[in-house]
Every structure is written in structure tokens, then in C-alpha cells.
Amino acid sequence: MNIGMRMPVSRSTDMGKSWTYAASDFPPISGGQRLVLLRLREGPLLFVSFTDASVSEHPEGLNFLDADGREYRGYGLFAALSFDEGATWPLKKLITRGGTDQFTGGAWTGDFTMDRTHTEPKGYMAATQSPNGTIHLISSRLHYRFNLAWLQQPAPGSEE
């Protein structure tokens, strides 16, 4: 389900007695994809999802900023941070190691190439944050580990 090709968001200002529904900033997900929404120990909300529906024949991706302040197009698994209870999501980062490597995502994900602008295209995810601040994100087969400081650092520039 989507609203104007955006993921729906539901909000309540009266402790759940009534709700409003609107389009979010994020693309919708589809079969073989599950998102994560987690309050981090440090306070921000962490949202993890995918740039495109798993059934997309022509992925559009999302725009991200690198350390040089240049915008680039990224595809696949990404994280976003909100510091105002989800009203805005000023930080978005593709979850990738940066180098080129081949991975087997298991289940419906299959094989994929991870590089500076491409990462896991789909998967069922769950996440938790350990007492030391490490965020553990699992997908259908893979385990990612990072922290808030890493999320807040822009991806390296294209020359790095």
C-alpha cells in the first residue's frame, strides 16, 4: 500500500484515540521487504528500509550526500535518522561498506553486488541496539553492525 507512491505514515496526537494518515518522505516497500523503526538509546529515531520496491523493474533509488557535499543516487538498503519524533528525516545513509563485493542474501533476496551506490535490495529485517551503542541489523541472511556516529558520517566522496 502507498499514498502517491510514498510509504504511508500514521500519527496520533491523543495517545491513539484518533489517527491521521499521510504520505511519508519514503518510498513504499513490497513483498520480500520489511522495514525497521527503532528508538536509539541516544534519542533519535532510526528508520531502515529500501530505496525501491522489490518488484521494481526500473529502480529509481534515492539521493544521498557524500562527504564532499555532492549528491549521488543510491540503491537498496538505507537508514534515516529523525531528531524530532519523525517530523523530518535530515540524515539518510546507504548501508554499504563502500568497496565492491558479492553477497548471497538468502531466501528471496538472492545474490547481489554491494558497492558505493548499491546495497542489499530486499530482505526481512529486525534490529536492536546493544548497551555499548552498537546497532545490530539483520536481514534475511546478513548481519550489519554500526553505531550512531557511523550513521551521522556522510559516505566518502567519490575520489576516496
- Integer Cα distance of 143 and 97 in angstroms: 13
Least confident of 52-66, 84-98, 124-138: 52-66
Residues near 84 by Cβ (< 8 Å), separated by ≥ 6? none
**Predicted confidence band of residue 141 (pLDDT cuts 50, 70, 90):** confident
Least confident of 44-48, 116-120, 146-150: 116-120
DSSP secondary structure of 76-102: SEEEEEESSTTS---EEEE---SS-EE
Q: What residues does 144 pair with on adjacent strands?
A: 137
| Region 130-136 average pLDDT | 98
For all residues of the chain together, what is the average pLDDT?
A: 90
Cell of 107: 531466501
